[in-house]
Chain A
């Protein structure tokens, strides 16, 4: 019997012994697995590498500054969409308890919808009780057990702030010298880097670009590298691209918005109007989708698929592209399989923010964390090489710091991307929020309706046009291919249509857009086959 037990459990015991023997000592942890001491609870879509480095560094910083230990407790319920939903659910539940406990107040579906709606203001066409609930929420300290929301894109942080889920962390008052144009401008290239009311602060910069696989590209009919977004819409990339779904990620949708803005700027410069630019931009997005082999649910998969040669090229966020290129070079001993570049004047710079949540249970520690990530000490972690003085210990994060003073020679010598300064390289692109910011959500819905839900028909039409000799050879087919369900001047009406309280009406509208696009693609395919 003992022999049987020994035979049964020896392999298991040996297997379990390996990770037990390799696990780090307590000083090397960064993921908040310890207990006791002060605490900060952060909900984030950031990867394990970022959580590890910032958690570890903040613990050391906190020990030095306050002489106490701190536990950084990361919460990871999923991506940005999951987090946004999670926060909304929790605040509804938390405020419901507060409101229901108030004498004479009853919870209702209307209050559940209105208390977090920034349009619920005195004078609006809303029930007085809903207005009172909104004001009570904004004055309350209703909390959800979380201190900070970190990462996920400026758009979602701004919406969270407008809803009232985020509050002023007071960093501008604590460090007014940080919030100058020389250190951290409030706006750059049309993009907002921090909220004037202090409800969110950008901590690092992002831009967008194209990554491509050199070997796959060399096998194409035209092996020249893509020079800009328009290159990705060329017929040579048919079934060669990997793109990310804009409905899943605010960052990805931002990239498509920038593509459209670039076309709008070009149209204006050429004497056309915003209408023309909008149409050109949307049709570029359609051609890129038509050229896709894969539409992924995660932005991080784009660079990996390109590096492994599954796809020839893809649109990706800068640090994903750079990190994958670094790892690929390491694996291949410098073969440069994957190249990343940002299109000239094709991308703006956006900031990835952090915000203090309403009712934060560890408010002081949370503010200390925000101060840390915005300080020079914290900013070094984003792009310093591993094991450089003040840099990360294990993972090179390959993100770019938001503080301009980190781009001085004294810091550049330690940076992974010493030759990159988005404040310079992206200065030529100006983002015009008045053109498309209001329609950010509409944009991703339209892309879903006319490019993703209709992808099979879109790709058949594009394939037939290519087979017929390209867009110039079949102008009628191309005209049908380029048909859009509405123009730029109809955007406001369409935005209102999506805000219809009837879910069925909204879905019916989206279905009509999809059906109209689907029919256009079928017509285009038929016309292309007929050589028209």
Chain B
């Protein structure tokens, strides 16, 4: 095996051992045993939790496909008014901060929220949208509206890589639109479907925040959270984590088979060979196309709008819009001494995490797609594993491993300077996004182009730098955006590992501000709006800097 590949496999293994295996072992070794797993499976309460987690994952993934696929196809096929704008707005869920996002939902759907107030004006009774039997569907809808950008971006990128002449040839042979879609387009974009779909499936299976926020407690992740935060020692969470890991692995394998198929020979994916001109939609049809994007964005952006209004509202209770406006909350939030350091810290941790993700993710993707070996399935599972483990478990694991192994404590010191540990924690949890995005790009890039370069005398490094990376640049950018954006909004690691105010990232600062008695939620909303704008402007800055290249990156 090539020495460089071997070195990289060792590096990946070391990263995984240090930042996944050891912390997991530290936590699980407290009480995991076959007896406990048997007890968990014997308990109807925990069985129901696993079943509900599975149902949420399937339902959410199906909803994400329904939400993300049509606009992705519209974006690829047609030109219409406001196309670039609505495309950018589709990323809105990525910038919704945690904790206060939940407050936005309650403001819209609460008993005296906007929707019930409107119903009251129509003499209709209030509806408990977020309670009772509707909680399951509320969880699925909210998660789907949060996760669809992952599938959308991956599918748009995959569609951009499809050689249009295939579809044209099928059309010339008389294939109708639906037949072309199912027999040509879908198989060719399978890598993108898999890249996004697998992440959505695993994420929704292991998601904690949404069911916790809605009080939907009979689901495994909330049962783990409740168990681990109990005052008395309760070993059941560790058994549930083990079951969650096992089942996540199974779900991933199933999604790989169903979404990715047996293999992808990347036939006819000749980047640069020619382009399809998008069809211009004019008049009403054009506005309808933009309307699809607008509708999705509106549904996904409602909590953002509510959050902004709450941050400026002096009072918002039983009215459709706030009854008064104020800058008091912004003053209370942005003048707080923990805010400026938290911004600097978040930028530091997220940028470091993004760099670690890119430096590790690109070679990891090459390992999975180009440098295949008998260890490839193991590395694939290993890279996806961080998605399957609840963040709070890993966070406790980091603390535990530093307490148990003094040499690790001297290296990472989570108490006195958690910078490296936080960056690594963010990176390991964002690595799956980067790897999946880059893998999708590699699978759609025919290897013959690289072979041709090698035949002409280019070294492996030159081939990588001059041929491969430019062809997958869009996928790399997408991965980097995910890594940076989601790191900025990371919750579990931030709450547990940043114990000193000097090291608080933004999410911890929002949480601390929300705990201030009385005004806490309002000032947390204000800082949440600031964080939202900051992330939006950062992503916007990246878009401006890439400029036209961003558009061409997503084409050829």
Residues of A in contact with B (beta carbons under 8 Å apart): 4-5, 7-9, 11-12, 15-16, 18-20, 22-24, 28-33, 47-49, 73-82, 84-86, 89-90, 92-93, 97, 145, 156, 215-216, 239, 245, 247-250, 253, 293-297, 300, 304, 308-310, 319-320, 323-324, 326-327, 330-333, 337, 395-398, 441, 444-445, 452-456, 502-504, 507-508, 511, 514-515, 518
Contacts and interface: CB of A to CB of B under 8 A. Distances in A.
A319 B231 contact: no
Interface stretch (B79-87, B163-171, B400-408, B440-448): B400-408
B230 A310 contact: no
A444 B230 CA distance: 10
A4 B331 contact: no
A402 to B, nearest CB: 19
Contacts, number: 212
B527 to A, nearest CB: 9
Interface in B478-531: 495-496, 499-502, 512-513, 515-521, 530
B135 to A, nearest CB: 10
A323 B530 contact: no
Contacts of B33: 503-504
Contacts of A15: 530, 533-534, 537
Contact of B403 (A93, A250, A327, A337): A93
A293 B131 contact: yes
A362 to B, nearest CB: 15
B399 A86 contact: yes
Interface in B389-403: 396, 399-400, 403
A31 B340 contact: no
A532 B361 CA distance: 65
Interface in B322-356: 330-331, 334-335, 337-341, 343
Interface stretch (B35-43, B259-267, B295-303, B461-469): B35-43
6 contacts: A15-B534, A19-B343, A48-B512, A248-B230, A327-B519, A444-B231
B110 A48 contact: no
B359 interface: no
B249 interface: no
Contacts of B44: 515, 518
B538 interface: yes
A507 B111 CA distance: 38
Q: Which of B42, B111, B338, B496 has the most CB of A within 10 A?
A: B111
Given A32-B501, A503-B35, A24 B335 contact: yes
A354 to B, nearest CB: 18
A331 to B, nearest CB: 4
B516 A19 contact: no
Main secondary structure of the interface of A (DSSP, over half): helix
Nearest to B533: A15
Interface stretch (B192-200, B210-218, B371-379): B210-218
Contacts of B230: 81, 247-248
B287 interface: no
A31 B229 contact: no
Interface residues of B, number: 76
Q: Which of A23, A331, A515 has the most CB of B within 10 A?
A: A331
Given A33-B501, A507-B39, A308 B517 contact: no
B45 A514 contact: yes
Contact of A297 (B132, B212, B530): B212
B337 A28 contact: yes
Contacts of A32: 500-502
B541 interface: yes
A12 B537 contact: yes
Contacts of A333: 315
B215 A294 contact: yes
Q: Which of A24, A31, A216 has the most CB of B within 10 A?
A: A31
B314 A331 contact: yes
Contacts of A397: 517
A80 B229 CA distance: 9
Given A23-B335, A23-B340, A89-B400, A31 B131 contact: no
Nearest to B347: A16
B235 interface: yes
A250 B517 CA distance: 19
4 closest cross-chain pairs (CB), A and B: A327-B518, A323-B517, A22-B335, A8-B541
Interface in B287-326: 314-315, 317-318
A308 B103 CA distance: 10
B318 A441 contact: no
A502 B330 CA distance: 53
A309 B111 contact: yes
A294 B496 CA distance: 25
A86 B541 CA distance: 41
A492 B318 CA distance: 51
Contact of A24 (B36, B235, B337, B396): B337
A82 B229 contact: yes
